[in-house]
């Protein structure tokens, strides 16, 4: 499987049986997403920086992507997706609504995308998510968990690889996302350094024994 990062909380997972795009966004965030195509699109919640499904075209396998925007269990073309309900804030959704955590089983690797998780995980939620290999975690705070909470979440879920997302960059609109923490803030909190790479190529046999942080350059 090959994983590429397309900004904000949007990733493309390309496996042997198909392609998944997570949380596509529109120009609302301050920049335009790259051209994307997929068999499946997951949407953690319906805000414009996470649900721009019209930006994603289909593939030779599937002319229109299959959209998954709710909790539940799905099986599409040999790719399994498990959605677990959570909240976009620390007030049971009273401030920003609900959020869905998706775990995608692709090429025998379990990739968990936290969406805009806005609270610490309960033991029940940790059990429901279950075992994962790769964690895509928001780290910027304000709208999601912050760097310290992200570190706690990583420790709770125990993935082999952690890919940070949803942090402030020079491309983001400062009036909307200016208060977010940066990638450097998260790495400092975690106590790690990471050399950015353009893509992550991984399978079940190449997962590291010791947990690693992977920083992906935006495509």
Q: Mind listing the pLDDT tens digit for each residue in 142-183?
A: 999 999 999 999 999 999 999 999 999 999 999 999 999 999
> 3-state class of 64 per DSSP?
coil
Q: Quick one: pLDDT at residue 141?
A: 94
Q: Quick one: pLDDT at residue 78?
A: 94
Residues 6+ apart with CB under 8 A from 163: 3, 5, 11, 134, 135, 136, 137, 200, 213, 214, 215, 216
Residue 132 lies in a domain: yes
User: Using an 8 Å Cβ cutoff, are 22 and 10 in contact?
Assistant: yes
Residue 128 has pLDDT above 90, yes or no: yes
For the chain, how many structural domains are there in total?
A: 1
Q: Mean pLDDT across the chain, nearest whole number?
A: 94
Range of the domain at 37: 2-205
Kindly state the tokens that stand for 33.
């997403």
CATH number at residue 193: 3.60.15.10
Q: Mind listing the pLDDT tens digit for each residue in 68-110?
A: 999 999 999 999 999 999 988 677 766 776 999 999 999 999 9
What does pTM read for this prediction? 0.96
Residue 213 lies in a domain: no
């Amino acid at each position: 499987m090959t994983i590429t990062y397309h900004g904000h909380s949007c990733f493309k997972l390309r496996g042997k049986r198909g392609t998944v795009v997570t949380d596509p966004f529109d120009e609302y965030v301050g920049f335009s997403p790259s051209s994307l195509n997929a068999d499946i699109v997951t949407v953690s919640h319906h805000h414009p920086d996470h649900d721009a499904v019209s930006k994603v075209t289909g593939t030779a396998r599937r002319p229109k992507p299959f959209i998954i925007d709710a909790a539940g269990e799905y099986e599409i073309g040999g790719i399994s997706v498990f959605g677990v309900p959570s909240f976009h804030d620390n007030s049971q959704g009273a401030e920003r609504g609900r959020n869905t955590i998706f775990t995608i089983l692709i090429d025998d690797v379990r990739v968990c995308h936290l969406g805009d998780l806005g609270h610490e995980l309960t033991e029940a939620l940790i059990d429901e998510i279950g075992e994962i290999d790769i964690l895509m975690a928001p780290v910027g705070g304000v709208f999601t968990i912050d760097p310290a909470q992200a570190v706690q979440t990583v420790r709770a879920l125990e993935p082999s690889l952690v890919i940070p997302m949803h942090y402030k960059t020079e491309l983001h609109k400062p009036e909307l996302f200016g208060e977010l923490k940066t990638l450097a803030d998260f790495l400092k909190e975690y106590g790690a350094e990471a050399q950015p790479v353009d893509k992550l190529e991984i399978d079940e046999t190449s997962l590291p024994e010791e947990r690693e942080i992977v920083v992906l350059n935006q495509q």
